[in-house]
A and B are shown apart, each in its own frame.
Chain A
Amino acid sequence: MTTTPTPPVLPADTPAVPRPLTPAERRAAMARAKLSSPWASGVAIVIAVVWTVPTIGLLVSSFRPQQSINTSGWWTWFRSPEFTLGNYNEVLFGARESFSTYFINSVVITLPAVVIPITLALLAAYAFAWIDFRGRDILFVAVFALQIVPLQVALIPLMQQYVRWEVAGSFWTVWLSHSIFALPLATFLLHNFMKDIPPSLVEAARVDGAGHVKIFFKVLMPLLVPAIAAFGIFQFLWVWNDLLVALTFAGGTPNVAPLTARLAELAGSRGEAWHLLTAGAFVAMVVPLIVFLALQRYFVRGLLSGGVKG
């Protein structure tokens, strides 16, 4: 890079001049100048509005009476506000739709499907990071590469196997499948975090006579909490929001199917029942949104640590 005009040297005898800005401060000032250009802030605002308005529209509608949703746009609400919880009531407890059952199904599916793969991946990551054995590198690359097998490739053989074992249509199939599909990425991410822990810590514990299990729980686990949280949120969102696995393994059985499957069904069979769809969509959204907003920092950290599930 060419470094030409040197900055004008300030006369030494000007007392009015405060300390020079740090580079970071100068960049912040530049950013402010940049945004004060009408074009730049205009573009930013347009993007922000386009990204937000669709959700607001659906949210507003979910509180409007069915009649109003179907006859006028949600934006008219700001002129003539109406408010009802009837849609939510019907969606959650109404005889036919009853999202509450599916909501519980979603919870039952999600918790084990988050806990199991994380535990197994922690063990595997520990072995890859801290136990020496032959073929370790090849095995690790193989596990990493499995990340990229599309779920579609695995679904039908898995299902045939479940049918043979006579567990098809139960929660077990969903738990097991989600756990398997999460393992490659989980192992990879947690391994990366484990590698970053200074070996001296582990060595010291080993000298003190600690076995692998003790090292794992006493030394490594406390340091890994942020990484586990990050992947945990990731896996939580993935499982809660999943449709493909749920439809394949739990779709045909109403006492197992999660919210997403029900919502998709509702959208397909009664595509114009907006009062149910709007409220239903928000029932399905509320848990991931809370988790997401509360733990956003960890989640972003997880995203930035390199691997992301496709």
Chain B
Amino acid sequence: MVFAILLFVVVMALILMSVDRARSVPNWALVAAFLGPALLMLAFGLLYPMVRTIRESFFDRTGTNYIGFDNYVTMFSQSEFQTVLRNTLIWVILVPILATFIGLVYAVLVDRTRFEALAKGLIFLPMAISLVGASIIWRFVYAYRPDQEGVAQIGLINQFLVWLGFEPQQFLINAPSNTFWLLIVMIWVQTGFAMTVLSAAIKAIPDDIVEAARLDGLTGARMFRYITVPSIRPALLVVLVTVTMTTLKAFDIVRTMTGGQFETSVVANEFYTQSFRQGNFGLGATLAVFLFILVIPVVIYQVRQLRLSEEIR
């Protein structure tokens, strides 16, 4: 590791020194020295692979025979993959909305209270935990023991069910509700992010607007609905888009909690399974391309926003 860092530093220093030595370095050389390494890596690591993967998606499982759109047909027509697509849709709709909503409500409730720092810290903390760690935490919450004499529940939720007189449930195995229990983990992690960004946006609402609304007699829920939410709309959109993208691409939770069994798989997890477990490169590539197609609208939206903010600048 030390060797790698040193090597890297030496190379960078050489490039920079050679650029700065002669005062007559042409502009293009300067640009090449500063931008070159980054652009080279991006071309090698993102651009070229992207082209390769798109090409790969039209080939069979070994990547040698051209089969046209067969992989795409498979993806949309086989019931197994339809379940995957359905689950992905559920994740992408529920996680951003619920995480943003809970984050927003919580940010409003604790805003400017005495315990604000502590209260926000508690919700924010899961962001530092890896999705694998979060999955283990929640697997423990969902843990199941058969309901028999002398067998105690060790999972909190099942214990509650037993206390209330219900049967304990195998939350992670019973389809289709298990998808719902899985995506709770993602919401748990992402809410802190939503809360932080939205809380900053709420604090940025000018005092005189709040003041005027208050004089108009707006309080509580109506203040929230008519003043808070419209004032922070841009931040809300950023949060929704970001959480959506994270949700689409994340596979750690599904892989750690159920391994994609029991009808819980999502596109990102199925990509991993097909590519590395089943050795079906063509279908894996198709799933990756599908993920990419799903985020393209987001790219366009983001670039538009960037243009707008550049104009304001």
Contacts and interface: CB of A to CB of B under 8 A. Distances in A.
A303 B196 contact: yes
Given A148-B299, A156-B275, A211-B20, 7 more contacts: A148-B295, A161-B44, A179-B41, A187-B38, A277-B140, A284-B133, A308-B193
Interface stretch (B64-72, B80-88, B110-118): B110-118
10 contacts: A27-B112, A55-B137, A141-B303, A148-B298, A151-B249, A161-B44, A212-B20, A241-B130, A243-B252, A264-B132
A133 B143 CA distance: 60
- Residue among A141, A288, A303 with the most chain B CB within 10 A? A303
B132 A24 contact: no
Contacts of B137: 54-55, 57-58, 281
Contacts of B238: 306
A154 B50 contact: yes
Contacts of B306: 141, 144
Contacts of B263: none
A248 B276 contact: yes
Interface stretch (A9-17, A28-36, A82-90, A91-99): A28-36
Interface in A120-161: 120-121, 123-124, 126-128, 131-133, 139, 141, 143-158, 161
A146 B8 contact: no
A222 interface: no
B302 interface: yes
Interface stretch (A200-208, A223-231, A266-274): A266-274
A80 interface: no
Given A153-B53, A243-B130, A28 B136 contact: no
Contacts of B215: 3-5, 7
Contacts of A267: 132, 135-136, 139, 256
Contacts, number: 336
Given A153-B53, A241-B129, A119 B1 contact: no
A55 B135 CA distance: 11
Contacts of A193: none
B39 interface: yes
Interface of B: 1, 4-5, 8, 12, 16-17, 19-20, 23, 27-28, 30-31, 33-35, 37-39, 41-42, 44-50, 52-53, 56, 102, 105-106, 109-114, 119, 121-133, 135-141, 143, 152-156, 159, 188, 191, 193, 196-197, 200, 207-216, 220, 238, 242, 245-246, 248-249, 251-252, 255-256, 259, 268, 271-272, 275-276, 281, 284-285, 287-289, 291-292, 295-296, 298-299, 302-303, 306, 313
B140 A57 contact: yes
Contacts of A30: 214
A278 interface: yes
A262 B133 CA distance: 11
A289 interface: yes
Interface string A225-256: 00000000000010011111001100000000
Contacts of B50: 149, 153-154
B154 A69 contact: yes
- Residue among A128, A157, A285 with the most chain B CB within 10 A? A157
B156 A73 contact: yes
B32 to A, nearest CB: 9
A141 to B, nearest CB: 6
Contact of B210 (A27, A181, A260): A27
A127 B31 contact: yes
The range of chain A's interface size is 35 or more
Contacts of A127: 30-31, 34-35
A300 B249 CA distance: 23
B12 A119 contact: yes
A44 B119 contact: yes
A218 interface: no
A124 B39 contact: yes
Contacts of A150: 248-249, 268, 288, 291-292, 295
A100 interface: no
A30 B135 CA distance: 39
A156 B295 contact: no
Contact of B303 (A44, A74, A115, A144): A144
A180 B1 contact: no
A126 B34 contact: yes
B28 A108 contact: no
A185 B113 CA distance: 34
Given A72-B154, A150-B249, A303-B196, A123 B109 contact: no
A181 B4 contact: no
Contact of B53 (A126, A156, A211): A156
A136 to B, nearest CB: 9
Contacts of B119: 44, 48
B151 to A, nearest CB: 9
B126 to A, nearest CB: 7
Given A154-B53, A157-B53, A175-B4, A281 B46 contact: no
